[in-house]
Amino acid sequence: MSSFAYLYERFPSFVQTFVYREAMEMLRQGMAPRLISLRRPEDSAQVAENVEADVWYLPEPDEMRSEADRLREARQLPGTIHNAIREARKKHDSNRIFEAVWLGPRLRREGIGHVHAHFGGMAARTAWWLRRLYGITFSFTGHANDIFCATDFPISNADLVRDAKFVVTETDYARQWMEKNQHCAKGKVFRVYNGIDRDFPPCKPAVEPFQILSVGRYVEKKGFRDLIEACRLLRDKGERFECKIVGDGPLKTTLDSQIDRAGLRDTVQLLGPRSQVEVRQLLSESHLFVLACVREPNGGSDNLPTVIMEAMMCGVPVISTAIAGVPEMIVNGETGILVAPNAPPHLAEAVGQLMRDPALAKRFSTSGREHAVANFSIENTTRSLKHLLVKHAAVKAPPAASHLDPALPRGWLSRWFGGKKTEAYSG
């Protein structure tokens, strides 16, 4: 019997490996979540994750709409749901209500009374409808642009925060931002870092040339244009190195053109998407990891880029920018280097410093890994979310989960006392 359900827009996804790892760890910790994805994966076979659990994939939208209409015509839906469908189908994002109508009865048959969504986006809006139509409660983890940027959907960010049992953010920066910008957020937003496992190959780069690695979607907020410009500045100073950028996305052609214009074809490579195994191998072969995060014109930005944690766990020295939650990973001058965003000369200077000072790079390698192990280990971060689900959403922990974690609050106590008697549990 599932204790709760994870609800995803698309699962698994190459660009959301932290979500996959959390689900697998939640299973290992005995919580038995039901995994549900609104859409099927789009990843190529080259980078696709091998899913180690059953996943419910919803039917195509037209099929769900047809089923809902058939039930309406047969008068097999309660009047409230019948009327909600009639009104919602006239609006933008109406597929969310049909997903909820398809899911609600199936979740009830499995005895699932709570769902947790990742990202304050499509899946969270479907979860909102599950609550309204079927009384199935929800919570969600907000990550970056899904909470920092306003939307024009009928279900707003404020609606999601107001009606969720609780909200998780990846960083204290995001938690404080939400409490400042969402009046209903105070007291119900909790910080749980993204988690990573410790199974990373040790960093053993070749002696020459100096290897720089960056990984991420080819989108504005990753700052790849600044990284390429920093590479041009370093090349013009006579530095010898190679820079490899893993990823894919809408700026691929733009970045490729920038590399050509700068005459960096032999120095900077856009590698395209790579599997997690390949990314880990590339990290182990790198002298330095750089992610030059910037803020987008609409206010969007990275929040806690998981790949920085991965580099630190691998023992690769890291350089990034002082933006959003990045300073919660990189303590400037202690576990890596932070520079101002949108400043290629400063970025080039920092890279050059570590190229010329291997002892400093080694110190960052050691301290960075220690910081990652202490703060971002997947077993600890998943445990924190597990305790929130039991304490604040009345999720009943299966016997296996209670056996593995004797400190886990009992779900029935949370229900009976409405959370008052569970305050002693630290989670």
pLDDT, one tens digit per residue, over 24-74 is 999 999 999 999 999 988 765 554 556 677 899 999 999 999 999 898 888
Look at residue 257 in the predicted model and tell me its pLDDT. Answer: 97
Q: What confidence tens digit (pLDDT) does each residue in 287-302 have?
A: 999 999 999 888 778 8
Number of Cβ within a 10 Å radius of residue 237: 9
Q: 5-195+378-422 falls under which CATH superfamily? A: Glycogen Phosphorylase B; (3.40.50.2000)
Between residues 91 and 257, the one the model is more confident about: 257
Cα gap 182→168, rounded to integer Å: 14
- Is it the case that residue 23 has pLDDT exceeding 60? yes
pTM for the full predicted model: 0.77
Contact between 390 and 414 (Cβ < 8 Å): yes
Extents of the domains making up the chain: 5-195+378-422, 210-376
- Is it the case that residue 423 has pLDDT exceeding 60? no
- Is it the case that residue 164 has pLDDT exceeding 70? yes
Span 321-339, average pLDDT? 93
Contact between 406 and 8 (Cβ < 8 Å): no
If you write DSSP's letter for every residue of 370-419 in order, what string do you get? HHHHHHHBHHHHHHHHHHHHHHHH-PPPPHHHHHH-TTSPPHHHHHHHTT
Distant-in-sequence, close-in-space partners of 393: CB < 8 Å, separation ≥ 6: 4, 114, 116, 137, 139, 165, 166
- Is it the case that residue 275 has pLDDT exceeding 60? yes
Look at residue 305 in the predicted model and tell me its pLDDT. Answer: 86
Between residues 17 and 230, the one the model is more confident about: 230
- Is it the case that residue 318 has pLDDT exceeding 70? yes
Question: What's the pLDDT band for 89 if we cut at 50, 70, 90?
Answer: confident
Span 199-206, average pLDDT? 79
Residue type, 72: R
Look at residue 162 in the predicted model and tell me its pLDDT. Answer: 94
The mean-pLDDT minimum among 14-18, 22-26, 321-325 falls in 14-18
Question: What's the pLDDT band for 421 if we cut at 50, 70, 90?
Answer: very low
- Whether 5-195+378-422 and 210-376 share one fold: the answer is yes
Average pLDDT of the chain to the nearest whole number: 88
Q: What does the CA dihedral 181, 184, 185, 186 come to, rounded to 10 degrees?
A: 100
Question: What's the pLDDT band for 1 if we cut at 50, 70, 90?
Answer: low
The values of phi and psi at residue 233, to 5°, are -65, -40
Half-sphere exposure of 96 (CA within 13 A, CB side): 27
Residue type, 323: I
Cα gap 115→52, rounded to integer Å: 20
Q: What confidence tens digit (pLDDT) does each residue in 361-395 have?
A: 999 999 999 999 888 899 999 999 999 999 999 99
Span 134-143, average pLDDT? 94
Q: 210-376 falls under which CATH superfamily? A: Glycogen Phosphorylase B; (3.40.50.2000)
Span 179-183, average pLDDT? 87
Cα gap 97→78, rounded to integer Å: 14
Look at residue 44 in the predicted model and tell me its pLDDT. Answer: 58
Question: What's the pLDDT band for 12 if we cut at 50, 70, 90?
Answer: confident
